[in-house]
Structures are given as structure tokens and as C-alpha cells.
Structure 1
Amino acid sequence: MSIIDLKSALELNKISQGTVFINELPIVRSGKKSDFMIGNFICRDQEVEFRIWEPSIFQTVLDNGPGIYDVEVIGNSYNEKEYLTVRSIAPSLNPELDKSSFLNSIPTILLESNLRRVQERLTNLGVTPKCWALIDSVINDPFLEGRFQVEGAAIRYHDNVIGGLMHHTTKMLNILAAMLENNPQLRASADLLCFAVSVHDIGKVFEYNNLEVSDFWYSSHRVRGIEYLARFKDRIIDDYDEEFYRQAQAAIAGHHGEYGDRPTTVATAIIHYIDTLESQATRLIQELEAAHGGRIYDRDWGFLEGLRLGES
């Protein structure tokens, strides 16, 4: 079977057969007659809601979890909301398809060129070769198996694409560069701020697995990041001192601000604000792109009028 064009399949009463991808375990709700399932199929930039009304059919999804499935669906609509009704579903046996067949990705060449540009910019603002060598050792350690370059920064919230973690981190480094330009007094701590930004989300390579939650997701990326950083404790203290190491730990622990452990250092507070600006702006842009230039809904502020966007 071929991969279903989800948008085309939404046509009312159209029957489609093919392969789909479920990235997150759907939810089961109670209906008037029996339980039913609601979830989402995703494929590149398409995300479409599906519903399964018969427990005997959605049991297959409960048994097998997120993954690639062969389905028969029919386009449906209720109160002007379009969705796909699943009439049959089974795990796909196509060996040529994997998650990467369905997920958006940022080309490696773009990730690397963006990082080189911000490295040059930050070097001119005081970040030392010693710091870059340390960062390279941490994010490219063989233990990670290259996953810093391929994991997403989130599952749904922002930069939820293959390569999104590195992309999010690089964008934060660009914001840090602007801060160092605007506030020269911060350049005395350029190495610390640059290193802390680079590793603040390193634990996401353990919290996520190809844009799904990992088996031990409940030990958050902040906990796992601090645990991973301990592998480099002696190197960091030899290159700098224990304060540098403890400051980096604090940044990993507290960069979520009021949504996690509160910041305990000025460096952590700065990184929290950089992280919030980058992730929130990216979220708004992604939602605006999905809305095709129309208004979007923000849970804090209600409806927001759109903004004209160019090509990325």
C-alpha cells in the first residue's frame, strides 16, 4: 500500500486505502453506545484527526501503540469539523517504510551551516575555542549515537521535526549572540552562557525517541541532562572550574522557569528567557503556517490576527 494523502482523504464520503502513521497513542472516550477512539494521523506537514467507533477495531491500536498502519478510511464531517473514520486498521508489514517516511526533517547540511554561522558570530563576541571543543565533545559523544542532530525539540509544541533539537539550540545561540552584542558586560561569561545554551536540552535525546516519548520519559530531560553531563565533570572542571560545572547543572535544571524548578542563577534566568522567546515565537509561526495566514487561537490570549510570512 502507498502512503495516504491525508488532506485528499478528507473529502466527504471518499474511501481511501493505504498506509498512515500514528505518532502518539490516541485517547479512548465514552460514547452513548460504546467507547470510541480519537487520534491523529501525521505525514510530513499534514495532521488529520481520525476516529474509530468500534472497540473491536481500535483494540489493534491499543495493543500495538503508535506506529505505521495499513488502513481503510472514509472522509467524514461533524459540525463543520472534518475527520477520517477508520473502517479497518492493521500494523503495516511494508519493510520499506519507517518513521522518517512520515516525519518532516531539517536537512543536515542546513543544520551544520547554521551552526557554523552562529559559531563564527559568537567567537567574535568572546566565546573561546576551548568552549567550542567542549561543546563538540558533549553533543557528539559516541554514547549519543548522533541523536542530538536527529531528535526533535518537542513532540507537538515547537521544532517537532527530525533535527529540531539542534535547530532549536542553534536559534537560541543566535539570540544569545544578539544579547552579547546588546549587553557587552555579559561577554565576560560568554563561554558559560554559550555552553549552557548548547547543553540545556541535551537530555531530550533520552526523553524522546524519534518524536515519540521514550520508555523512561517520566525521568525528564532536565534530570537526564544533568545525569549525562556528569560524564564530563572532570573535563569541565579541568578546563574551567567547579563553579562552571555547577552553573551548567543549574541551567539544565532550571531553564523551564515557573514550569519546572525555578532558576537559581542569573545565567539560568537568561537562558530561560532565551528559550521561552525562541520556542514561543516558533510555535506561533508554526501555527500560523498551518492556518495558511489566517488568525490563530492562543490559549492565553484568545484569537490572534495573522501575520504575512515569507519562505523559511
Structure 2
Amino acid sequence: MRLTRPLVTASALLAVAGLAACSPDSAGATPADEDGTTVVTVGTLKGQPHLYHPFLYADLAPEGVEFEVVQFDTSPDIKNAVVSGNIDFGVAGVPSAVSGSAAGQDVVVVAAAADGGSGIIGREGLDGIESLAGLTVGYPQGSSQEILLRLTLESAGLDADSDVELVNLPFSDMASALAAGRIDAFSSAELGPSTALQAGAVQVASPYDTPVGRVNIGLYTTGDLIEEDPDLVQQVVDTHIAATEQMAADPQAWADGVVAEFGIDQAVVETAIENIWPRWEIDAEYTEQVGALVEQMAALKQIDGEVDVEALLDTTFVDASTATS
């Protein structure tokens, strides 16, 4: 089985600027052609295998719907573009959706996308979370990887603020900082862990043995779009489900697609994909894990406002897909 993917249009990276010229009060996808084709814009991150789904949408799209992929640098950028109406959907980190909800923004997760994609990685010779005591550990402040690191340290009786030296670093700097000896270990998201592992680093501990589990990436939109055009939302969720299942069914084709799209080292991508679990279901376990994520984000003061998890996660569309499959 070969995973097919659309070519990103030449204007994709300009799509946000172009859409911003529309009325800020307008919501929903926009008719593009005289034949009434609806263009749906979907944001995702550059070069991330666990957010590859949108590149598969075009060949799986229902009749009358076209997808335009818009690439961003961070999940908060995607979330902001969604809630502002500059794009219709985003495949991005669930913590960004949680932050938006806590701030009173109109953001709703309508499907999961991928679990995992995190790692606690260290220099050669480290073994077990206890081995980090007294060492320098990189982490991206305000991320789910910070939460996973703190909870994993806590489970071993270590205080993240006193028993290790935490160093806030961008995701993209983790592997190079470890290779240069500026840090002894890090907790971060792919592709940092796999890049470091390919260079001789080791996995210190699993980041997934916490109440947050593997929860990471989701598909989200706005409540306004759900209310305005639920049929379109259902079509997008159905397409997303098909793309997610395609990735899960053929990891090699998924890896090959990522390499072809972004020019990333094949071995790094294949290692990263072993640490990612495509999923679309929003079940009881997923809801519980998002609840734990919300609780930890509040405890670390990453969010200030209340988050209604039941309102943040709208299972209507994945439930409908399950019922008709």
C-alpha cells in the first residue's frame, strides 16, 4: 500500500495572509471556484511526522471539497490562526487547545490525531530517571514535555526544581545542545529525541507512565464553524480519520512521505515513527488523560482560567463516523 499525498500549493505559506484580508467576522471555509468547490484550510507544523495527516487529505477528500495545507512553526500559532478564523482547522498540540480554552478562546478538539512523539533522552551511560539527579536537563517551558518530565521525576522521588538543573531550550535546540555537552539530558518532542538517538544518545526513561499518558496531537476547529456548517466538519473529520488509519496501516509509506515532503533524514524519521501512535478516537481514556493534562497545566500555572474538558472535546463527529463505519 502506498500513501498518497497532495502537493502543497505554492501559495500555502501565504494562505494566512490572504485569508486575513477577508472579513474577520466571517467563519467557515470559502467557495473557491464557479463550480462551488469548498476550499478548507488546515494548519500543521513543518517537518513533523506526527502531524503529517493534512498532507494526505487531498487524495481522500469528498467530492466538492479541496484542502489547502498551511505550515506553521508552533502549535500556538496554529491555534491562534484557527480561533481568529484565518484557517479552518488545525492539526496541532492539545496543550495549545487547552491554553486557548482557558483563555476563553473558541477552540474545540473534534478528533485525536496522534499519541506519543515525546522522549526523555540523555547522554550515553545514563539509565533510569534516577540517573538524572544533579544533572542538567533541557526542556521546553510551558510544553506537555515539561509536564511529562516533572511527573516522571516526581514518580522517582526527585524534585524537578531542586534535584536537577532545568534549562529552558527551544525544541529545535535539544539534540544539538546534548551533542555539544551543554546539557546532560532533555525532555522534548520529535524529531529531537530521534535525532539524538541516531547520534548515540540513549532513552533515559519512558515519558508515558504518568496520568497524562501519550496524549499529544489533535484536530481542532471553532465552535462557530461547528454551528455554522456541521456537515463540512463531519466531512473533514471523516477525511482525517481515513488519513490517520492510512498512516497507522503503513508506517513505511508514512515515513517515506515525510522524507519526500521535508527532506529529513530517513533513519531519524523511521525512529521517530516508532515513537508515534496515530489515533483519531476520543474515548474515555483519552478524555481522562486530557483532564490530567489540564490539571497539571493549572498546577504549573501554564493556564489561569477554567477548562471544561467535556466542552473542549467534541465527540459528535468521531462518534458519527464510528456509527456509519
TM-score greater than 0.5 by the shorter chain: no
Structure label with greater radius of gyration: 1
Q: Which has the higher contact order (CA 8 A, sep 6+)?
A: 2
